Amino acid sequence: MSERFSVTYRVRADAGSIAARAQGIAVEQSVEMPLAAVDEPAVLTDIVGRVEDISDVGNGVFSVRIDLALDTVGDDPGQFLNMLFGNTSLHEDVVLRDCEIPPRFAPSGPATPALRERLGVSSRAFAGSALKPQGLPPERLAGLAERFALGGLDFIKDDHGLADQGFSPFSVRVPLIADAVARAAKATVHPTRYIPSLTGDLDQMRAQARLARDLGVDCMMVAPMISGFSATRALTREFPNIVFFAHPAMGGAARIAPELLIGKLFPSLGCGAVIYPVYGGRFGYSPETCREIRDNAKPALAVPAGGITLNRVPELLDFHGPDTMLLIGGNLLLARDRIAEESAAFVNAVASHRSASHGH
């Protein structure tokens, strides 16, 4: 008997049809053909998906748990995603809600302690911001990064819209920004980290990662839904000393619960930190969704973003806890000429909350 792993879907149906609908999903996600046409007994016993549980969650929606054969996955995270939701993602009545992560895709280890050691941040949350907008020349982005770093931020990342564009080529932009951040870090005596965004095909991302690594960069960002699951894991395996931040771009384009996609699947690719929309921000996630993403992502670092403001720092740190990086973008950029000062105020708000929460 082959090893199995379970997948949970939310399915819109009525009570009279849900059993047949669940069986249809089990077949679609395993052999995708009429079972009567399967003439190999081992396929019927070991490969065909099995409906293990159906429960009514209300409002015409059922939770359906199906067991699939681990042998169908191999060692490819792209094929794992295919087995989870490949054809069934084309059916509008189904949402991929949860799954077991097979041991072969388990996160490799906690990145948070490594980041704390690299930055000398023992217990407080991290503070970060993003370089934007796209369209600025490399020199302008480097100047912005330097002012952020002079404010004492822990992390400064490329906005995910920054790629290898004519107005700001990766090979020009990244050395300038890395140098600017290093120069500011020398002045502040705080080892601020720059997180460049890797884009393109796997060969291009490998070349970008090598260039950044050779500049001393040890954190990078990738968007797994754009770059691909298999390519993302290839990068994390090839560069084991780099902490990869997973960006959620395109994460809402399929009916996959963010608690699973961002919270479980992105860390399974080797990403040591996951960026996700914070509740009360621009994207409408609920506190419950954010909490489940945070909890599922462990031991990866939780990075809430998307509409954070300085006055929300105490509330968000109470909610997320210290093993978090708060990522403020546009609200720091509003400070314009006072970006360094506003960045310092943000860092101080994070640090003072730590002191208050520990009773000092």
The string of pLDDT tens digits covering residues 202-260 is 999 999 999 999 999 999 999 999 999 999 999 999 999 999 999 999 999 989 999 99
At residue 337, the pLDDT reads 86
Same domain, 312 and 216: yes
Please state the domain count of the chain: 2
Q: What is the average per-residue pLDDT within 268-278? A: 97
Segments forming the whole domain that contains residue 177: 112-357
Q: Give 264: exposed, middle or buried? Use CB within 10 Å, 0-12, 13-18, 19+.
A: buried
At residue 274, the pLDDT reads 97
Same domain, 218 and 312: yes
The answer, yes or no, to whether residue 357 has pLDDT greater than 60, is: no
Alpha helices in 88-137 (DSSP H): 112-119
At residue 360, the pLDDT reads 34
Identify the DSSP state of 309: -
Same domain, 204 and 67: no
Q: What is the average per-residue pLDDT within 263-289? A: 94
| Residue pointed to by tokens 């120069």 | 183
| Residue pointed to by tokens 């009360």 | 280
Q: What is the mean pLDDT of the chain?
A: 94
Same domain, 64 and 141: no
Q: How confident is the model at residue 355 (pLDDT cuts 50, 70, 90)?
A: very low
At residue 254, the pLDDT reads 86
Lowest-confidence segment of 27-41, 92-106, 242-256, 344-358 by average pLDDT = 344-358
Q: What is the average per-residue pLDDT within 95-122? A: 92
334 or 96, higher pLDDT = 96
Same domain, 228 and 158: yes
Same domain, 140 and 93: no
Same domain, 57 and 172: no
Q: How confident is the model at residue 354 (pLDDT cuts 50, 70, 90)?
A: low
Q: What is the pLDDT of residues 299-315, one digit of tens each?
A: 999 999 998 899 999 99
Same domain, 205 and 268: yes
Identify the DSSP state of 165: B
Same domain, 253 and 189: yes
The CATH number of residue 330's host domain is: 3.20.20.110
Q: Identify the domain boundary among 50, 72, 105.
A: 105
Q: How confident is the model at residue 113 (pLDDT cuts 50, 70, 90)?
A: very high
Same domain, 127 and 8: no
